[in-house]
Chains A and B, each alone.
Chain A
Amino acid sequence: MVLQLEHLTVRPLSPIASAVVEYLVAQVGQVSIIEARFVYKLPIMITAPEQAYTDQPVIALEKVSMRYGRGSEIFSDINLSLPAKSFTFLTGASGAGKSTLLKLIYLALQPTRGLVRLFGKDVQSLGRNDLQQLKRRIGVVSQDFGLIPHMNVFENAVLPLTAAGKSVSHIEADAKELLAWVGLGEKLNARPTTLSGGEAQRLAIARAVMNRPDILIADEPTGNVDPVMGQKLLRLFQEMNRTGTTIIIATHDPALTENVIADTYKISSGQIERGSML
């Protein structure tokens, strides 16, 4: 038996939530902890981005080729068009180029040839400041997490705001709530070097969603977390997508994709094709 619990509006980890879950478990006896956790209302900052959307694709790659140095091409003339509010999985064998493709989209790399458009803008024609403004609309969870080791968990999480020159005082409570939601509420002052792989990954995810991005790009976001947390994070991504964020996730994890209605693209032999999970 699976309960429909969407009407609950309690905040995560609050005493009321815990009491409700405990009551349901006691009464029904068949509510799994995973399902029960799903009823928690997501943190307040996971709301629709303010930007207006148009019909044009939010991410578009046109005849993009990429190679590192003088090596062979990783992609040759690939095209990809992702509409706003889409949820996309990117799959492919290890080394196929998933991370490279994501880096092209989140502007960490420039293609050898071809055109990358974000929000309808040709990114190669943009100046440095415009590019940085664009980057603020993209949340990134990279495989190496990209955490700053000498800053604590809270400071790492709010870095997108700090780097934008914004005050964090007005979102401090929300930021702490989000960190608590990903299970780092007790580790706000901890340094990333003291975190486990899973905790570091959750922190990277919290940072990526902190700025309410229009696009969230995650490279193997559940690679270091247990299945329960993996599902919880997936739920976070789904909720963000529901409220307007375009999601693109590179993953090897079939468990992540099997219960989600999403487009799937597979990279293989330097080409990208729409398909199903491996």
Chain B
Amino acid sequence: MSSPRPTPILPKGHGEERPLFVIMAIMAFLASLSLVLVLMGLRQSASWQNDLKSAATVQIIGEDTISDADKAADILRTLSSVRSVDILSEAEGRTLLNPWIGELDLPNDITVPALIRLEIDDTTFDPVEIERRLITAGIEATVDNHRQWSKNLSSTWNRVRLALFSLLAIILCATVAISTFATRSVLQVRRNIILVLGQVGATDSFIGGLFVKRFLGLGFKAAITGIIFALIFVGIFMLWQNMGTDETGLKIKVEFSDILWLIALAFVMGAISALTAGAAARRSIQNNHKSG
């Protein structure tokens, strides 16, 4: 006769695991979106900061801005910290005002400052010194290396990132709570089995291990399901985004490294679920033992 097929000591539930699976998948979905936003934001922020670091803007304010802009450009081209100089046309300058004034035409008596876009070496570029040189040359100009804006952007992004990480942490804490409740529920449903195991000498660790095995698989599968749905959601968003014409702002884009992070998230959620279940089972058994 062949050996009987081994059966798990802790049987799979008759439907009691389905709600847990769904809730865990939703948690994984939210955690995935948070993580994708964090990763995407990190990339976008780094890219923006990099662009800002290597660029500066000179604003010519005087009466004859076109002539002053040419003179300023000549001076700027002589500087070693300046890699390229690009005078924006008046039309380009007005375009930059569009976000504030829309398509309205400015009255002719309002002078639009001439703008010079610089590509710079951030390590040696000194805006104060350059501004002083331009003023000395009789050009009324201000030099902005975007440092303040970059600082504000960085500070804002740090707050957003903290909020997203907090959200991720809250979701993982919720996963811990859900696993704990689910474990207690299974312990209650399988009380007789736990009693028998205790009677035949199974240690709390052994019983905890049964829950670890049970919830590891469940947590991992639920996390993968949630992540797949999150990727589908992001994919749909990307398609919708690509159909639009707006080229500015934050672009939703998932890279391969994000997928690897999401897989890691699935393992983390599976592990959290399993370890929490194991610990909750041990604690619950010990409490029951103490209470008699």
Q: State the A residues within 8 Å of B (CB).
A: 106, 108-110, 128-129, 132-136, 140, 142, 146-148, 150-152, 154-155, 159-160, 162-165, 172, 188-189, 207, 211
B135 within 8 A of A: no
Chain B residues near A150 (CB-CB < 8 A): 7, 11
Q: How far is the CB of B14 from chain A (nearest CB, A)?
A: 11
**Which of B84-92, B180-188, B193-201 lines the interface with chain A?**
B193-201
Among B9, B198, B201, B203, max chain A CB count under 10 A is at: B201
Tell me which residues from 231 to 270 in chain B have a Cβ below 8 Å from any Cβ of chain A.
Answer: none
Chain B residues near A159 (CB-CB < 8 A): 9, 196-197, 200
Q: How far is the CB of B210 from chain A (nearest CB, A)?
A: 10
Cβ B6 vs Cβ A155 within 8 A? yes
Cβ B203 vs Cβ A106 within 8 A? no
Asked if A151 meets B7 with Cβ closer than 8 Å, knowing A132-B201, A135-B199, the reply is yes
Q: How many B residues, CB 8 Å from partner? A: 25
Q: How far is the CB of B189 from chain A (nearest CB, A)?
A: 12
B202 within 8 A of A: yes
- Taken together as a complex, chains A and B put the C-alpha atoms of A140 and B205 apart, in Å, by 22
Query: Would you list the 9 A-B pairs with minimal beta carbon distance, nearest first?
Result: A136-B201, A163-B202, A135-B201, A160-B200, A150-B11, A154-B4, A146-B196, A132-B203, A163-B200
Q: How far is the CB of B187 from chain A (nearest CB, A)?
A: 15
Contact of A128 among B193, B196, B203 (CB under 8 A): B203
Closest to B7 in A: A151
Asked if A146 meets B201 with Cβ closer than 8 Å, knowing A151-B7, A155-B4, the reply is no
Closest to A176 in B: B1
Cβ B201 vs Cβ A152 within 8 A? no
B140 within 8 A of A: no
Cβ A133 vs Cβ B7 within 8 A? no
Chain A residues near B205 (CB-CB < 8 A): 129
Closest to A169 in B: B3
Chain A residues near B3 (CB-CB < 8 A): 154, 172
Closest to A134 in B: B201
Chain B residues near A163 (CB-CB < 8 A): 9, 197, 200-202, 206
Q: How far is the CB of A186 from chain B (nearest CB, A)?
A: 9
Q: How far is the CB of A149 from chain B (nearest CB, A)?
A: 8
